[in-house]
Structure 1
Amino acid sequence: MGVMTFMRTKMGYFLVGGIAVVLALFVLEPLLTQGTAMYGSSQSKVGSVDGEDIEYAEFNPKVEQSLAQFKQQYGGNVNAQMQAMAMDNAWQAEVGAILLGKEYNRLGLTISDVELFDLLQGKNPSPLIVQYFGNQQTGEVDRAAVLTSLKSQSKDPNLKKQWDMLQAEIEKQALQQKYANLIRNSVYVTSVEANDEYINRNKLANFKYVNLDYSSVLDKDVKITDADYKEYYEANKKRFENPTETRSLEYVSFSIEPTKADSVAVKAQVEKLAADFKTTPNDSLFAANNSDVKVPFTYISKGKLAPAVDSVIFNYPAGSFYGPVFSDNSYKLIKVIANKFSPDSVKASHILLDPSKIGGEANAMKLADSLKSLLQKGGSMATLAKTYSVDGSKDTGGDVGTFARGAMVPEFENAAFDGNTGDIKVVKSQFGVHILKIEKQIGSAKVAKLAYIEKSLLPSTKTKDAAYKKASAFLNEVKGDNFAALAQRNGYTVGLADKVTPTQGFAPGLDNPRPLIKDAYEADKGDVLSTVYTMDNAFVVAHVTGVQPKGQLELEDVKKQIQPMVMNAVKAKMLKEKLEKALNGSSNIEAVAQKVGKAAAPVQNLVFANPIIPGLSQENKVVGAVFGSQVGKLSKPIEGDKGVYVISVDGFTNPAPIGNTYKQKETMILGVTQRSLGAAFQALQEKSEIKDNRVKFY
């Protein structure tokens, strides 16, 4: 693809996409969202990194660029979660750029003029130069095109600006690669570590075990005390460090789904629409004006419509009328205008002319006719495309590949599918004037031209007003201390959203939660949010039930969360006592099993590196105890994840001595290197003060 084509189509997304290389390189964790809460910061500051402010005016365009990438990738449809992801991508790139920039300066990492020249036009071009100036088939860079474009900067200010952006990004990527190489070269594996890893993956253990599952003790028979909670909390305190401030919410949804009355009214509307549709003199215009879903008025192939329609409509002859039929929450009305057999796909090549560059459409059409004539007389499409085309396909002989219906703009598609192999046509489209050559038509299938109307079953204004009135009445009556009780008294279901982070774009049961989350972070624990929030299919009233600060959470903050684990810990004490009694006087595992009414279960050929007991689960403590035990000796009771165990090792099988220590080291270094990049970046974050105020703006 030439740089001009690149600049038109992709430069809008370039900066965020380029900086995002940092993310892939350093495996950014959610730690990037950490920082102090949102209070006391300037109204224009989205956040800061070590005192370096991130201004909204500079940050928001990068969010918009990231969002544009999502829209391009998903066909223009983005939901609240995707919007939050776009914002996170921009934030992570911004934080990464600041932290890594400081590291580059500290380490004295730079890109010299000689290195930059090599990256732009030398023997080792940047991946970005390869991407935008490389032949798609061979990967070879068109250096002449690079030089021509570089020289054109002096005459084209816009091109110079675009090259400045591209060059800056190339330098950033090169610095990132230097830093990554520096980290990779700093890690090593010793011979002892290599041998240990080899043993852990190849030494085999045979053993028997007896286990008493936690489920064998009924919850109702367990009494959990405050001391039990405190004991578990203190033993696992590090697990309760909150990387970022979170909120917990209760909410009630008031449905705005269509009622029976709405269904009757919509059906009557659709029946009248069907009568008018049957008699209208302009099918395509009537469909376009009345359909909630726009289907192009062109030939379409099977598989493009909703399954209920797609399975029958291609059997209807021209002039037929289908519907109204209700499926997938909407009514369908269809007129079959025409049908025929058409190729499944077409392979084509073209030359694209830009009328604005050759004196207008009349000149473009005149040139197109001349080029068509040359091609019909045996001229080379590849040569002419290289000379005249403004499309990126000029570097591949004008080849646009093989495509099915729906892949190209209608004018281009119709010309390609309605012609015959070998035809050369001049076609006008929104992109300019095409000289199209049909290289090959593949397959044959029935296609139909349809005038298509789809009317969704939506709630009426009356239904929405009634739901909003209920929600408002509940909001006016509810207090922070009676939220659940009042909801229960009115027959409403209370939803829960736990550990909601400031920037997340989703919450259980809430399809558009950002406004609600934003307000929750301006509220305190116990507050009822003062707004009725509008979701896609409901109005919502919410209540903040918890505020979990960044850092070490207190026992009360996690008490509900750890209740199942504390329950198992208390059961473990009960089951340990039972197994200790069984061990008393027992000389082998079979005797222990008999005393507790179980059978000793054998395990063969277990390795330390894969601590899964067949038929049970992963039990790290148990498998660790196996490889630390003496053969034939009964263990003490071991508290596992699923129950309490007693084990007895039958024997070990040691592997042959390691044959190639160097190869083992290389394998391990690869894994260590990959982890080290993320670990290095995590260390940079932990040493930095990152303030994240995005919830005030998004």
Structure 2
Amino acid sequence: MGLMTFLRNRAGYILVFAIGFAIVAFLVGDAINVGKPFWSANQKVVGSIDGNDINIDEFGPKVDQGVNQMKQQYGGSANAQMTAMAVDQAWNAELAKVLLTKEYDRLGLTISEDELLDLLQGQNPSPLIKQYFSNPQTGQLDRATLMNFLKSKEPQALQQSNMLQEEIKNQALQTKYSNLIRNSVYVTSLEATDEYNNRNKLANFKYVSLDYASVPDKSVKLTDADYSEYYDQNKARFNNPQETRAFEYVTFSISPNKADSLAIKAQVDKIAADFQVAKNDSLFAAINSDVKVPFTYITKGKLDPAVDSAVFSLPAGSFYGPKLSGNSYKIVKVVATRISPDSVKASHILIDPAKVGGEDKAVKLADSLKGLILKGGNFAELAKNYSVDGSKDKGGELGTFARGAMVPEFENAAFDGKTGDIKVVKSQFGYHVIKIEKQIGSSKVAKLAYVEKALAASSKTQAAAYKAASSFLTDAKGNDFNKFAAQKGLKVAVADKVAATQGFAAGLDNPRKLIQDAYAADKGDVLPEIYTMSNAYVVARLTNISPKGILSLADVKKEIEPMVLNAVKAKQLKEKLANAGKGSIDQVAAKVARPVNPVQNVVFANPVIPGVAQENALVGSVFGSQPGKLSAPVQGERGVYVFTVDGFTNPAPIANMFKQKESMLLSLGQRSLGSAFQALQDNAKIKDNRVKFY
């Protein structure tokens, strides 16, 4: 294990670290230009950043590493969401690499050899060194393992060491750049005082409101002028940071029907009967199960909850199932049970046959070492002299581990033995001389032969659904999509604002190919394929293309209709409140038959009216008004308001101006990093063709 284990476990993390760091450090946004025509780009170019082409041959492995990292982190197999996240991370890392490197060169930022050495081996090493080389039990840096890694001449170790050092340099450069950005931000005493007052000055006021809901929608007739007026006044809201597309679609179910369910139940019953009399349980399970559960001792909590408790309450030799849980049948043979340690503390000496002259010599050496240890030999000294594992510098100590942490051969030896045992086992890493130092806790474990069969549609059901989808696809190309769907009794669903690289879309679990085709189509096109989801076939039509930048009125007209409706209602309600008189707020309330609502202790920085909503315009107007004066009508989010300020309570003077500025600088500094990186993207020439490949 040792160094090879370290490389196996850490390689993906080292390779993709720049991805995560660039995202966190610079809050990388999605302001990337996605556009057409894609066919004009080189067939292998994923994109370009200021003239630097990104080739799929180099980009693809980084995506694969990202997917593998997520699989290790989250478990399970790769899915569309994981892939989309990995693609975005790899792309953002490329953005950071190109754009920030140009900034480093422009500013003259470098990392000297002495700085790098200090970051690798100094008293305050890089966070990466601490992350990868800290002892998991103590949390302290394991300098022996670190030096062993850095000094190794093995080709894989050299490659990983070079990659790690490169990422440490990148991280250090990003830190220097971040500090430059942060140090460019300052806060004046006037700004600090304003911020303090905004969070601490209290306002007490009374208001009367007329809600938009009080005007029936059907009584309002919207005109083109109404839409144009609202659009012109709010144009900044319609800035689209990246191109998106919308499509509508119909689905043809391939979920199992009643006949399919009965057929599967009959099949499962036959499997269960054969399973009960099978001579080789593990082989039978391996052949017949859709889900593979290792044929080894496992702890409670590893199976489907509906099955887990039942199985672990059974004695060895029991048979459970078939049990329908979720979307599959489960059948389990409890082959054996035992009480086993929850965790084990162990040490080992690892012998590599290739380094001692072959298998025979490795076995003899392992047996000899076992004999010496049983006669009182010093395990730690023997580990230091003979082990090829990084743990040799700690006397072979591996710490404490639970089931699932080690390879099966090693785990079985450690958990099946007893404290003080010396065992020799072979694994994929070589021969281990294992000393069981301590076994901790005890609980029931079970060795299970496990069969799971999914409840799936038959080929006949799938063929019928595909035939219906194919017929619809052919006919829909020459018809109104919605009308034709209605004639067929099909419900039309909509996926809106779909970005080119996202791995999801409303109501669809595997939409990547559909999204790719949507980005190669023109508005109004019925997409060319039948798309397969986990439980349905899908036929779709591209309904809208929203380009990057300020969207046109036509693009947002349907979306803004509720807001335009409220804006027109607001004019009517403002007029009604204005005609209610210029006297006191009580007189206005009486004329419009609405109550006077008192509000206490509202601050400018939190413009929420209790029991109503966030009303920025109303609260802003309150803090700009004089006490005792009836306001003009104010258009808000929920309705139109008039108010009277009762008074303000000013806070005590700032006790510590330095701390007030420091707190603001921290927040501004963090935002400034994202703003700086966004500015670099906005001023770069970026062409993104990822949708061609993923």
Give the shorter-chain TM-score range.
over 0.9
Whole-angstrom distance in 2 between the partners of 1:559 and 1:573: 20
The answer to whether the aligner puts 1:254 opposite 2:268 as a matched pair is no
Residue matched to 2:188 = 190
Residue matched to 1:213 = 211
Residue matched to 1:227 = 225
Confirm or deny: 8 A CA contact 1:638 1:644 kept in the other structure: yes
Residue matched to 1:293 = 291
Secondary structure at the aligned position of 2:357 is classed as: coil
Bigger drift between 192-201 and 474-483 goes to 474-483
Structure 1 pair 382–76 and aligned structure 2 pair: CA distance change class (3 A) = farther
Q: 1:484 aligns with which of 479, 482, 485?
A: 482
Q: Deviation per CA, 1:564-596: give whole Å up to 9, x if none.
A: 1112212222221222122x1422x22222222
Q: 1:442 aligns with which of 440, 443, 454?
A: 440
Structure 1 pair 692–307 and aligned structure 2 pair: CA distance change class (3 A) = same
The answer to whether the aligner puts 1:667 opposite 2:663 as a matched pair is yes
Structure 1 pair 446–118 and aligned structure 2 pair: CA distance change class (3 A) = closer
Q: Deviation per CA, 1:305-354: give whole Å up to 9, x if none.
A: 22222232233333332222222122222222222333344344434333
How far residue 132 of structure 1 moved from its aligned partner, in angstroms, is 4.1
How far residue 176 of structure 1 moved from its aligned partner, in angstroms, is 1.0
Residue matched to 1:10 = 10
Confirm or deny: 8 A CA contact 1:136 1:396 kept in the other structure: no
Q: 1:624 aligns with which of 600, 620, 630?
A: 620
Give the percent of matched residue pairs that are identical in Structure 1 and Structure 2. Answer: 66
Secondary structure at the aligned position of 1:247 is classed as: strand
Confirm or deny: 8 A CA contact 1:45 1:53 kept in the other structure: yes
Whole-angstrom distance in 1 between the partners of 2:561 and 2:482: 21
Whole-angstrom distance in 1 between the partners of 2:116 and 2:680: 27
Q: 2:167 aligns with which of 166, 169, 173?
A: 169
Residue matched to 1:98 = 98
Secondary structure at the aligned position of 2:86 is classed as: helix
Confirm or deny: 8 A CA contact 1:5 1:390 kept in the other structure: no
How far residue 443 of structure 1 moved from its aligned partner, in angstroms, is 3.4
Residue matched to 1:596 = 592
Structure 1 pair 346–150 and aligned structure 2 pair: CA distance change class (3 A) = closer
How far residue 247 of structure 1 moved from its aligned partner, in angstroms, is 1.2
Whole-angstrom distance in 2 between the partners of 1:228 and 1:499: 25
Residue matched to 1:115 = 115
Whole-angstrom distance in 2 between the partners of 1:98 and 1:415: 50
Bigger drift between 46-55 and 3-12 goes to 3-12
Query: What amino acid maps onto 2:229 in structure 1?
Result: E
Q: Please, which runs of 5 or more residues in structure 2 have no aligned partner?
A: none
Aligned residue pairs total: 694
Q: Deviation per CA, 1:33-58: give whole Å up to 9, x if none.
A: 55676352222211111222222222
Whole-angstrom distance in 2 between the partners of 1:432 and 1:581: 91
Q: Please, which runs of 5 or more residues in structure 1 have no aligned partner?
A: none
Query: What amino acid maps onto 1:665 in structure 2?
Result: K
Secondary structure at the aligned position of 1:30 is classed as: coil
Query: What amino acid maps onto 2:247 in structure 1?
Result: L
The answer to whether the aligner puts 1:48 opposite 2:87 as a matched pair is no
Structure 1 pair 158–348 and aligned structure 2 pair: CA distance change class (3 A) = closer
Secondary structure at the aligned position of 2:609 is classed as: coil
How far residue 467 of structure 1 moved from its aligned partner, in angstroms, is 0.5
Confirm or deny: 8 A CA contact 1:593 1:599 kept in the other structure: yes
Structure 1 pair 255–391 and aligned structure 2 pair: CA distance change class (3 A) = farther
Confirm or deny: 8 A CA contact 1:211 1:646 kept in the other structure: yes
The answer to whether the aligner puts 1:178 opposite 2:176 as a matched pair is yes
Secondary structure at the aligned position of 1:331 is classed as: strand
Query: What amino acid maps onto 1:355 in structure 2?
Result: P
How far residue 151 of structure 1 moved from its aligned partner, in angstroms, is 5.4
Residue matched to 2:75 = 75
Structure 1 pair 351–563 and aligned structure 2 pair: CA distance change class (3 A) = farther
Q: Deviation per CA, 1:206-241: give whole Å up to 9, x if none.
A: 111122222222222222221111111111111112
The answer to whether the aligner puts 1:586 opposite 2:583 as a matched pair is yes
Residue matched to 1:505 = 503
The answer to whether the aligner puts 1:271 opposite 2:269 as a matched pair is yes
How far residue 505 of structure 1 moved from its aligned partner, in angstroms, is 0.8
Confirm or deny: 8 A CA contact 2:32 2:242 kept in the other structure: no
Whole-angstrom distance in 2 between the partners of 1:35 and 1:274: 55
How far residue 606 of structure 1 moved from its aligned partner, in angstroms, is 1.4
Whole-angstrom distance in 2 between the partners of 1:339 and 1:538: 42
Residue matched to 2:636 = 640
Whole-angstrom distance in 2 between the partners of 1:50 and 1:451: 57
Residue matched to 1:606 = 602
Whole-angstrom distance in 2 between the partners of 1:423 and 1:453: 35
How far residue 280 of structure 1 moved from its aligned partner, in angstroms, is 1.8
Whole-angstrom distance in 2 between the partners of 1:56 and 1:627: 56
How far residue 454 of structure 1 moved from its aligned partner, in angstroms, is 1.3
Confirm or deny: 8 A CA contact 2:343 2:401 kept in the other structure: yes
The answer to whether the aligner puts 1:129 opposite 2:103 as a matched pair is no
Bigger drift between 37-46 and 558-567 goes to 37-46
Residue matched to 1:574 = 572
| TM score, norm. by length of structure 1 | 0.94
Secondary structure at the aligned position of 1:455 is classed as: strand
How far residue 480 of structure 1 moved from its aligned partner, in angstroms, is 6.5
Residue matched to 1:87 = 87
How far residue 254 of structure 1 moved from its aligned partner, in angstroms, is 0.7
| TM score, norm. by length of structure 2 | 0.94
Structure 1 pair 380–433 and aligned structure 2 pair: CA distance change class (3 A) = same
Confirm or deny: 8 A CA contact 1:480 1:528 kept in the other structure: no
Bigger drift between 391-400 and 207-216 goes to 391-400
Confirm or deny: 8 A CA contact 2:347 2:395 kept in the other structure: yes
Secondary structure at the aligned position of 1:433 is classed as: strand
Secondary structure at the aligned position of 1:635 is classed as: coil
Residue matched to 1:555 = 553
Structure 1 pair 121–316 and aligned structure 2 pair: CA distance change class (3 A) = closer
Residue matched to 2:23 = 23
Secondary structure at the aligned position of 1:31 is classed as: coil
Query: What amino acid maps onto 1:630 in structure 2?
Result: Q
Whole-angstrom distance in 2 between the partners of 1:152 and 1:320: 52
Confirm or deny: 8 A CA contact 1:135 1:395 kept in the other structure: no
Whole-angstrom distance in 1 between the partners of 2:393 and 2:560: 62
Confirm or deny: 8 A CA contact 2:244 2:546 kept in the other structure: yes
Q: Deviation per CA, 1:377-413: give whole Å up to 9, x if none.
A: 5555555545544445556554444444444433333
Bigger drift between 461-470 and 135-144 goes to 135-144
Whole-angstrom distance in 1 between the partners of 2:449 and 2:155: 48
Whole-angstrom distance in 2 between the partners of 1:629 and 1:222: 32
How far residue 525 of structure 1 moved from its aligned partner, in angstroms, is 0.5
Confirm or deny: 8 A CA contact 1:32 1:92 kept in the other structure: no
Whole-angstrom distance in 1 between the partners of 2:331 and 2:421: 37
Query: What amino acid maps onto 1:606 in structure 2?
Result: V
Whole-angstrom distance in 1 between the partners of 2:478 and 2:95: 37
Structure 1 pair 261–148 and aligned structure 2 pair: CA distance change class (3 A) = closer
Query: What amino acid maps onto 2:214 in structure 1?
Result: S
Structure 1 pair 533–32 and aligned structure 2 pair: CA distance change class (3 A) = same
Structure 1 pair 142–416 and aligned structure 2 pair: CA distance change class (3 A) = closer
Structure 1 pair 282–139 and aligned structure 2 pair: CA distance change class (3 A) = closer
Structure 1 pair 571–436 and aligned structure 2 pair: CA distance change class (3 A) = farther
Confirm or deny: 8 A CA contact 2:526 2:541 kept in the other structure: yes
The answer to whether the aligner puts 1:431 opposite 2:433 as a matched pair is no
Secondary structure at the aligned position of 1:324 is classed as: strand
Whole-angstrom distance in 2 between the partners of 1:271 and 1:552: 61
Q: Deviation per CA, 1:641-695: give whole Å up to 9, x if none.
A: 1221111111111111111101111111100100010011111111111110111
Q: 2:418 aligns with which of 420, 426, 440?
A: 420
Secondary structure at the aligned position of 1:505 is classed as: coil
Whole-angstrom distance in 1 between the partners of 2:595 and 2:392: 75
Secondary structure at the aligned position of 2:268 is classed as: helix
Q: 1:332 aligns with which of 307, 330, 340?
A: 330
Confirm or deny: 8 A CA contact 1:36 1:692 kept in the other structure: no
Confirm or deny: 8 A CA contact 2:350 2:387 kept in the other structure: yes
